[in-house]
């Protein structure tokens, strides 16, 4: 069988291998599967999460606060671990707010963003005493009324849809029309209304994009976000206490992609926090990361049910698919489908390899987890592992589609 000479996937070295098995949280994969009691499942390695946070802290200036954007992975036990490791939790719904509070996050350290907040979610937020990133004039008016009704003034930051241009190969691109945040040019008016309504203004929130592997691009976005916030601060009804510069740090998935080097971002944030000491003396700089903190620490495991050969092509039919892992199937924001890093996790030392496609049990050709990939030769009972699955996995997948059982999740 001819195997391509290019690497099958981005470098995956975060999990050790012992006796031919992938080891997660100290447990060999087959033992881990036995402990879970069923396949398919997601497993998240708490040691790797702690290590990622520690590595990032080492290059971040101590004054910069690190938040976890929990929509990346809202598993309650994992959120509880993040509460212990980071400085704050960013939630995107009333449901996530409940999980973060249950996990022990302090209301002071929770912020809430999202383009369509229901009135009841805003009531929950004000009653809990968390920071609301306001994204429209409707939210400002509603929060004013809710504050009066509850007798508790809402804490707010303004989420800004930036107007700055990012240069890319000589082409200038504006911030453009977005459903997120308030357009920068309308922010002075929003700040005036916040002041008039007696809301507690605390700062700004800017988020320019997700899954970026280029440190220079992130540095540039953070630089421009800082400049914009500084300009807007002149219109604010109170000093800026928090300046959230967003996240967007990416992780490698596909062949040829490499890990982001966060060092230049740390150096730039150090320079920005020195400037902030003079220019926004009461402000804390915040970054909020989802995928980067948890994505590489998680795997998805599904068992081979059947091995079929159709007109010469090998199909490994598994007990889970896009119903549990939409993004690995290429249907969560990918333009061209590419394979996630996939291995046969109980045959890591196998010398016999073959080209096979990994598919799930659903009656749709979209249910494809790996398209013609070089894998260890697998049989029914073997365990397919998809790496880089700690973020936007279980909760970002259509689990009810076709009525298969929900996926299990464990933190080890
Ligand atoms: C989704 C989201 C994040 C996290 O994005 P990642 O790419 O996972 O780091 C951060 N902030 C806001 C407002 C978000 O909506």
From the CA of 133, give the closest atom in ligand 1. Answer: 13
Residue 320 is assigned to a structural domain of this protein = yes
State whether 188 and 329 are in the same domain: no
Q: What is the CB < 6 Å shell around ligand 1?
A: 69, 71-72, 90, 92, 113, 207, 210-211, 246-249, 288-292, 391
How much distance in Å is there from the Cα of 69 to the middle of ligand 1? 6
* pTM beyond 0.75, yes or no: yes
State whether 31 and 118 are in the same domain: no
Q: What CATH number is associated with residue 243?
A: 3.20.20.10
Number of domains in the chain: 2
HEC string of the chain equals: CCCCCCCCCCCCCCCCEECCEEEECCEEHHHHHHHHCCCCEEEECHHHHHHHHHHHHHHCCCCCEEEEEHHHCCCHHHHHHHHHHCCEEEECCHHHHHHHHHCCCCHHHEEECCCCCCHHHHHHHHHHCCEEEECCHHHHHHHHHHHHHHCCCCEEEEEEECCCCEEECCEEECCCCCCCCEEHHHHHHHHHHHHHHCCEEEEEECCCCCCECCHHHHHHHHHHHHHHHHHHHCCCCCCCCEEECCCCECCCCCCCCCCCCCHHHHHHHHHHHHHHHHHCCCCEEEEEECHHHHHHHEEEEEEEEEEEEECCEEEEEECCCCCCCCHHHCCCCCCCCCCCCEEECCCCCCCCEEEEEEECCCCCCCCEEEEEEEEECCCCCCEEEECCCCCCCHHHCCCCHHHCCCCEEEEC
From the CA of 92, give the closest atom in ligand 1. Answer: 15
Could you tell which of 66, 70, 72 is best to mutate to test the pocket of ligand 1, judged by most ligand atoms within 8 Å of the CB?
72
Walk along the chain (412 residues) and give the pLDDT tens digit of each residue: 444 445 667 778 999 999 999 999 999 999 999 999 999 999 999 999 999 999 999 999 999 999 999 999 999 999 999 999 999 999 999 999 999 999 999 999 999 999 999 999 999 999 999 999 999 999 999 999 999 999 999 999 999 999 875 433 334 445 789 999 999 999 999 999 999 999 999 999 998 888 999 999 999 999 999 999 999 999 999 999 999 999 889 999 998 899 999 999 999 999 999 999 999 999 999 999 999 999 999 999 999 999 999 999 999 999 999 999 999 999 998 889 999 999 999 999 999 999 999 999 999 999 999 999 999 999 999 999 999 999 999 999 999 999 999 999 999 9
Residue 10 is assigned to a structural domain of this protein = no
Q: Domain range spanning residue 359? A: 17-44+296-411
Residue 64 is assigned to a structural domain of this protein = no
Residue 267 is assigned to a structural domain of this protein = yes
> Of 274, 289, 304, which closes a domain?
289
From the CA of 209, give the closest atom in ligand 1. Answer: 7
Residue 86 is assigned to a structural domain of this protein = no
State whether 282 and 341 are in the same domain: no
Q: What CATH number is associated with residue 29?
A: 2.40.37.10
Residue 104 is assigned to a structural domain of this protein = no
How much distance in Å is there from the Cα of 293 to the middle of ligand 1? 11
State whether 346 and 253 are in the same domain: no
State whether 143 and 280 are in the same domain: yes
Residue 103 is assigned to a structural domain of this protein = no
State whether 124 and 199 are in the same domain: yes
How much distance in Å is there from the Cα of 34 to the middle of ligand 1? 34
> Of 240, 255, 289, which closes a domain?
289
Residue 61 is assigned to a structural domain of this protein = no
From the CA of 249, give the closest atom in ligand 1. Answer: 9
């Amino acid at each position: 069988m001819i195997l391509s000479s290019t690497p099958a996937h981005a470098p995956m070295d975060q999990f050790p291998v012992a006796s031919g098995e992938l080891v997660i949280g100290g447990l060999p994969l087959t033992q881990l599967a036995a402990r879970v009691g069923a396949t398919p499942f997601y497993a998240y390695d708490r040691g790797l999460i702690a290590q990622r946070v520690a590595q990032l802290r080492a290059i971040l200036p101590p004054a910069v606060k690190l938040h976890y954007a929990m929509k990346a992975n809202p598993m309650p036990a994992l959120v509880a671990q993040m509460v212990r490791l980071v400085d704050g939790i960013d939630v995107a719904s009333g449901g996530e707010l409940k999980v973060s509070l249950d996990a022990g996050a302090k209301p002071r350290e929770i912020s809430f963003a999202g383009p369509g907040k229901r009135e009841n979610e805003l009531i929950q937020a004000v009653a809990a005493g968390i920071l609301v990133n306001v994204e429209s004039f409707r939210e400002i008016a509603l929060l004013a009324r809710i504050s009066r009704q509850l007798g508790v003034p809402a804490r707010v930051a303004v989420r800004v849809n930036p107007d700055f241009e990012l240069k890319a190969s000589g082409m200038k691109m504006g911030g453009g029309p977005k459903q997120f945040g308030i357009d920068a040019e309308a922010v002075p008016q929003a700040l005036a209304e916040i002041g008039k309504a007696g809301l507690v203004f605390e700062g700004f929130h800017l988020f320019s994009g997700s899954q970026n592997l280029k440190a220079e691009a992130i540095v540039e976005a953070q630089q421009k976000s800082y400049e914009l916030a500084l300009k807007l601060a002149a219109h604010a009804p109170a000093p800026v206490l928090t300046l959230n510069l967003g996240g967007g740090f990416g992780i490698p998935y596909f062949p040829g992609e490499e890990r982001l080097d966060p060092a230049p971002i740390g150096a730039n944030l150090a320079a920005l926090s020195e400037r902030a000491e003079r220019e926004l003396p009461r402000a804390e700089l915040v970054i909020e990361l989802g995928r980067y903190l948890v994505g590489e620490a998680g795997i998805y495991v599904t068992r081979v049910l059947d091995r079929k050969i159709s007109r010469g092509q090998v199909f490994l039919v598994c007990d889970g698919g896009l119903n549990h892992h939409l993004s690995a199937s290429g249907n969560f924001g990918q333009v061209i489908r590419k394979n996630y890093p996939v291995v046969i996790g109980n045959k890591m030392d196998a010398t016999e390899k073959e080209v096979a496609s990994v598919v799930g049990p659903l009656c749709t050709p979209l249910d494809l987890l790996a398209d013609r990939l070089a894998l260890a030769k697998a049989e029914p009972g073997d365990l397919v592992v998809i790496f880089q699955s700690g973020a936007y996995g279980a909760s970002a997948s259509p689990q009810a589609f076709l009525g298969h059982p929900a996926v299990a999740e464990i933190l080890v």
